[in-house]
Amino acid sequence: MRIFLDNAATTPLDPAVLAAMTEVMAKHYGNPSSIHAEGRQARALIEKARKTVANTLNCSIGEIFFTSGGTEANNMALKNSVRDLGVTRIISSPLEHHCVLHSLDSIRAAGVARIEMVGTDAKGNIDLADLEQRLAASQEKTLVSLMHANNEIGNLLPLEKVSALCTAAGAYFHCDTVQTMGFLPIDLNATQVSFLSGSAHKFYGPKGVGFIYVNNNNQIKPYLDGGAQERNMRGGTENIYGIVGLATALERAAAEREQRAATIAELKAYFMRRLTEQYPDIRFNGDPENGMFKVLSVSLPASAKGELLLMNLDMAGISASGGSACSSGIDVGSHVIGHLYPGSPRHTIRFSFSHHNTKSELDAVVEKLGGML
């Protein structure tokens, strides 16, 4: 049996989600844009799913649009804010996901908006004082784009505080919640956010489907041109079974959120304790005590075996990663770790946990790790 500790990269499909998707595939083949019975049935499934997402986030159903995933949602928020809302300055962080950083590179290259990077402390937490100063330094129309939880080190953004700073400054606020959606409560009625993105496969749903929340105050145009799908916001026939899978997974994640969180947090604390006892030279990156409970970035002393650590873990039946899983398997080094610890010779592994993991699995990882260092 393999031990899967790469749940920040993706999660196994929940059996109940698979069952819901399979039923849609088998019985509901109509095109949601068709006006006949089969089309109306398909449309009803999509709108039911939209209502599920909206209820989970405490927002209007008209503010939820389904996408192909978090990458499309993030691109949509960043590029549409410049194109349609007149944003000329974006404040972000050097520790963001690559889909955000590469989108910012594209915007910068086009010369349509200035890009600023907010400061971070030694642990990778956003410097809120620096953000406040930057917001106050210019009256130009600004978008702040910061992720809720870092996908590599797990640091959490104080969502309410950032929202308050942006609201006070009259700035738009985009938050990538891919790593926290379904794991942490988010109330969009209580917390002002302009754009928010989520991806189903991070909370035990299918790959290839996600959503974007667009606050009703933001009038943007379609990112993908085509038909009138998604209320004229995203052309292309909807991924009905994927959307149903997303909603089913999110509904289950919300219902079991506290139980899952307690289980995963206990596993993380246990693993940190066992690693520290066994390997005194080990270091934990970021701010693990205050960060997202499902992510743990571990730094190990440089050694000849270290370069092969991930491969040796894989051969031993243990799945982990060196950081983000968005480089098509190519180890190009972590931009997050490189920013926080420039020039460090230590080797980094990201372990990320699920409520399906067990302490006995973690004990096995600690034991097998010894022969690889």
Q: Number of folded domains in the chain?
A: 2
Does the annotation count 326 as an active-site position? yes
pLDDT, tens digit, 9 for 90 and up, residues 46-57: 999 999 999 999
Write down the pLDDT at residue 156: 98
Kindly report the pTM of this predicted structure.
0.95
- pLDDT tens across 18-39, in order? 999 999 999 999 999 999 999 9
Q: What confidence tens digit (pLDDT) does each residue in 309-351 have?
A: 999 999 999 999 986 545 444 445 689 988 888 877 778 999 9
Q: Which of 59, 99, 175, 326 is catalytic?
A: 326
* CATH number of residue 359's parent domain: 3.90.1150.10
Q: Are residues 89 and 237 in the same domain?
A: yes
Angle at 92 (CA atoms; ends 90, 98), nearest 5 degrees: 115
CA dist 26 to 12, 21, 29, 144, 367, Å? 22, 9, 7, 43, 46
Sign of the CA dihedral with 289 first, then 101, 322, and 67 last:
positive
CB of 207 within 8 A of CB of 43? no
C-alpha to C-alpha distance for 92 and 105, rounded to whole angstroms: 12
Residue 98 sits in the same domain as residue 238: yes
Residues 247 and 305 reside in one and the same domain: no
CB count in 10 Å sphere of residue 238 = 20
CB atoms within 10 A of CB 259: 10
Using the 8-state DSSP alphabet, how is residue 61 labeled?
A: G
Distance CA 285, CA 154 (A): 9
Regarding whether 241 and 104 lie in a shared domain, the answer is yes
Considering 220, 255, 290, which residue would you say is the last residue of a domain? 255
**Predicted confidence band of residue 12 (pLDDT cuts 50, 70, 90):** very high
pLDDT above 70: residue 71 = yes
Residues 37 and 149 in one domain: yes
Domain of residue 100 covers 15-255
Domain boundary (255, 276, 302) is at 255
- Supply the DSSP string of 235-298, one letter for each residue: -S---HHHHHHHHHHHHHHHHTHHHHHHHHHHHHHHHHHHHHHH-TT-EE-S-TTTS-TTEEEE
CATH number for the domain that contains residue 50: 3.40.640.10
Note whether 235 and 266 are same-domain residues: no
Please tell me the predicted confidence (pLDDT) of residue 330. Answer: 43
pLDDT single digits (tens) 217-234: 999 999 989 999 998 899
Pull the structure tokens for residue 262.
Answer: 């307690």
Q: Above 50 in pLDDT, residue 364?
A: yes
Considering the domain architecture, whether residues 29 and 163 belong to the same structural domain is answered as: yes
CB atoms within 10 A of CB 254: 20
Residue of 26 and 300 predicted with greater confidence: 26
Q: Could you tell me if 226 and 295 lie in one domain?
A: no
Residue 329 sits in the same domain as residue 270: yes
The last residue of a domain, from among 213, 239, 255:
255
Are 227 and 267 part of one and the same domain?
Answer: no
Same domain, 191 and 208: yes
Percent of the chain residues topping a pLDDT of 70: 97
Question: Is the Cβ–Cβ distance between 188 and 59 less than 8 Å?
Answer: yes
Q: Are residues 249 and 309 in the same domain?
A: no
Asked if the model's pLDDT at residue 134 lies above 90, the reply is: yes
User: In the prediction, which pLDDT does 323 show?
Assistant: 60
